[in-house]
Amino acid sequence: MARKRFDDDTDNHDRWMVSYADFITLLFAFFVVMYALSSINEGKYRVLSNSLVNAFGRVPVSPVQGENAPAGLPRALPQRNRNAEALRREKEQLTTVARNIQDVMAPLVQQGKVRVTQSARGVNVEINASVLFSPGDARLSGESVEALRAVAEVLKSVGHAIQVEGHTDSVPIKNAQFPSNWELSAVRASSVVRLLIDSGI
């Protein structure tokens, strides 16, 4: 009997659909997990916390409110209205700080050399580099020292973290003191930080 000749398998152009379906399923599962983790239920959190503590051999935890919780015992999650009130007070405090900084730097703000903005991260004070430094230099100018000291007076009363970013000139630099613009920007930031520290922050 003659052998039956089989045709070569034709390419299946729909193979990608299997991989695509797997990808979409995994993406859906990921978002379901993220959604489940995003809503915190205090009761479920307490049960989970007690279970973990029991599993690792410690004393079971009872929910303890406030600052008087014994050492080693986690405090219960704060109530939502307390969080909202604390956030509102913090936002008001930051608004006051932004207004005070704008007042002490009013002449530079009017000239467009300083911009004070408030965001979810805090208060951002953006000072034009030409106000603070001469081109290619990291020493603060006399005018900028007074302006920064005035800002430091406002910031002394604030308990928030302060982040200083130094920027550089648009002209590339390469000399013994500053091998690149990167070093120049770092030393500029350091100069501002030192002045703030000397001013009591």
pLDDT in tens, 25-66: 999 998 888 877 776 667 777 777 777 777 776 544 444 444
CATH 3.30.1330.60 in the chain, residue ranges = 80-198
Mean pLDDT value across residues 160-189: 84
Which of 171, 179, 182, 176 is closest to 136 using CA atoms?
A: 171
Amino acid letter for position 148: L
Amino acid letter for position 198: D
The CATH fold of domain 80-198: 60s Ribosomal Protein L30; Chain: A; (3.30.1330)
**pLDDT for position 87:** 81
Higher pLDDT, 8 or 185: 185
Q: By CB neighbour count within 10 A (0-12 exposed, 13-18 middle, 19+ buried), where does 36 fall? A: exposed
pLDDT in tens, 123-147: 888 888 777 888 888 888 877 888 8
Q: Name the one residue in this structure whose structure tokens are 């604030």.
A: 158
- Please state, in angstroms and as integers, the Cα–Cα distance from residue 83 to each residue in 35, 97, 129, following that order: 21, 21, 38
Mean pLDDT value across residues 168-192: 85
Can you name the residues that pair with 123 across neighbouring β-strands? 118
**pLDDT for position 127:** 83
As a whole-number percent, the residues of the chain with pLDDT over 70 amount to 79
**pLDDT for position 24:** 93
For the whole model, what pTM was predicted?
Answer: 0.53
**pLDDT for position 27:** 92
* Residue 131 near residue 147 (C-beta atoms within 8 A): yes
* Residue 94 near residue 71 (C-beta atoms within 8 A): no
Q: Is the pLDDT of residue 8 over 60?
A: no
- Please state, in angstroms and as integers, the Cα–Cα distance from residue 155 to each residue in 20, 124, 148, following that order: 54, 12, 10
Is 159 strand, coil or helix?
Answer: coil
Q: Is the pLDDT of residue 86 over 90?
A: no
Q: Is the pLDDT of residue 77 over 60?
A: no
Confidence band for 5, pLDDT divided at 50, 70 and 90: low
User: Considering the chain, what is the average pLDDT of its residues?
Assistant: 77
**pLDDT for position 28:** 92
**pLDDT for position 66:** 47
Q: By CB neighbour count within 10 A (0-12 exposed, 13-18 middle, 19+ buried), where does 184 fall? A: buried
* Residue 151 near residue 197 (C-beta atoms within 8 A): no
Confidence band for 73, pLDDT divided at 50, 70 and 90: very low
